[in-house]
Amino acid sequence: MTELKDIFSLNLRFSGNMNLTWTLLLLFFLEQTVFTPGLPFSRRHIDSPTSWVPGGHHRYCDVMMRRRWLIHRDKCKQINTFIHEDLATVAAFCNTPAVPCTSSRSLRSCHNSTHDVSVTDCFARAGTRPPYCHYHKKDSTRPIRVGCEEGEPVHLDG
């Protein structure tokens, strides 16, 4: 938050040069959001209630992947899952018995959901390239498995 205050103070100092201010603000947000591995779990995966997107439900993945900055600089993220449950519900899964993770090298154990959850899986269309990545979606209700650290979900497994 202090970085944001610093940027806005630059706005006051350079009020005569709006281009510099907008450039610095844009660089700040790009620095914060371009790389997906460091993004919080909720930003990558939680969408509750399910967001409305312009252009109809068939555009959900195209819009959400851009809105959440889940597109890499040089390639489209191949798969992402949005969970349509609130973060507290998903965090409660961290209290279920530990099971082996299947897709994380850094986490030793994961936790299964206690019930099926509504999800949307987004799959990159063949040949799609940034910055205009296009996706198709699959809605389903199924169990999920999460990796947790200190009682908070940090990884969606599988």
- What is the average pLDDT across 78-85? 97
pLDDT greater than 80 at residue 116: yes
**Marked catalytic residue, from 72, 111, 115, 155:** 155
pLDDT reported for residue 131: 87
Contact 70, 133 (CB under 8 A): no
**Marked catalytic residue, from 45, 57, 58, 134:** 45
CATH of domain 35-157: 3.10.130.10
84 is catalytic: no
pLDDT greater than 80 at residue 153: yes
Domain ranges of the chain: 1-33, 35-157
Q: List Cβ neighbours of 36 (8 Å cut-off, separation of 6 or more).
A: 44, 69, 70, 72, 77
pLDDT greater than 90 at residue 45: yes
58 is catalytic: no
pLDDT greater than 70 at residue 19: no
Mean pLDDT, the chain, whole residue set = 82
